[in-house]
């Protein structure tokens, strides 16, 4: 994944039936809560597991967007804005779908362009597509 992350976590799983290990290096920018200042992107990855009823990996990724943006940007991001930010972020090329394989079913790269996201939020507020709590 480019640009290359500067910090990674390792995950190892022993596969005793095969006498082998399954190993993965995961960029911190792909793990909620592990983003490092200076990284220009975060990743939204779905690598299997249980989803709530009616959800899809794409909806799950959309749901993660606001928490990842709140973690990394200095502007306030409310969770109820997830659909509008997802749509606008894709239109502005701030969110791009990744080609994935193996265990990863779906993935997105989110550009952490502070100016770009501020413009998106301001435009959506002006268009009344999102609102601040209490407005």
Q: So where are the chain's domains?
A: 29-126
pLDDT classification of 21: cutoffs 50, 70, 90: confident
Give mean pLDDT, residues 60-69. Answer: 89
pLDDT of 43 above 90: no
Q: Which residue has the higher pLDDT, 131 or 54?
A: 131
Top-confidence range, 31-45, 66-80, 83-97, 120-134: 83-97
Whole-model pTM: value is: 0.79
What is the distance between the alpha carbons of residues 11 and 13, in angstroms, rounded to a whole number?
Answer: 7
pLDDT above 70 as % of the chain: 91
**Residue 65 C-beta-side C-alpha neighbours within 13 Å:** 28
**To the nearest whole number, what is the mean pLDDT of the chain?**
84
Query: Does position 25 have pLDDT exceeding 90, yes or no?
Result: no
Q: Are 6 and 36 in contact (CB under 8 A)?
A: yes
Residue percentage of the chain with pLDDT more than 90:
36
Please check the confidence at residue 4 and state whether its pLDDT lies above 70: no
- For the chain, strand residue ranges (E) read 8-15, 20-27, 41-46, 95-97, 106-111
Asked if 1 and 43 touch (Cβ cutoff 8 Å), the reply is: yes
């Amino acid at each position: 994944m480019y640009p290359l992350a500067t910090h990674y976590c390792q995950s190892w799983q022993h596969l005793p039936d095969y006498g082998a290990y399954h190993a993965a290096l995961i960029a911190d920018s792909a793990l909620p809560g592990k983003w490092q200042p200076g990284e220009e992107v975060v990743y939204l990855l779905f690598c299997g597991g249980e989803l709530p009823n009616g959800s899809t990996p794409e909806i799950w990724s959309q749901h993660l967007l606001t928490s990842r943006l709140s973690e990394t940007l200095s502007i306030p991001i409310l969770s109820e804005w997830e659909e509008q930010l997802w749509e606008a972020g894709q239109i502005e090329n701030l969110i791009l779908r990744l080609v994935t394989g193996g265990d990863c079913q779906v993935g997105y790269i989110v550009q952490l362009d502070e100016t770009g996201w501020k413009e998106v939020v301001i435009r959506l507020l002006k268009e009344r597509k999102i609102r601040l709590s209490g407005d």
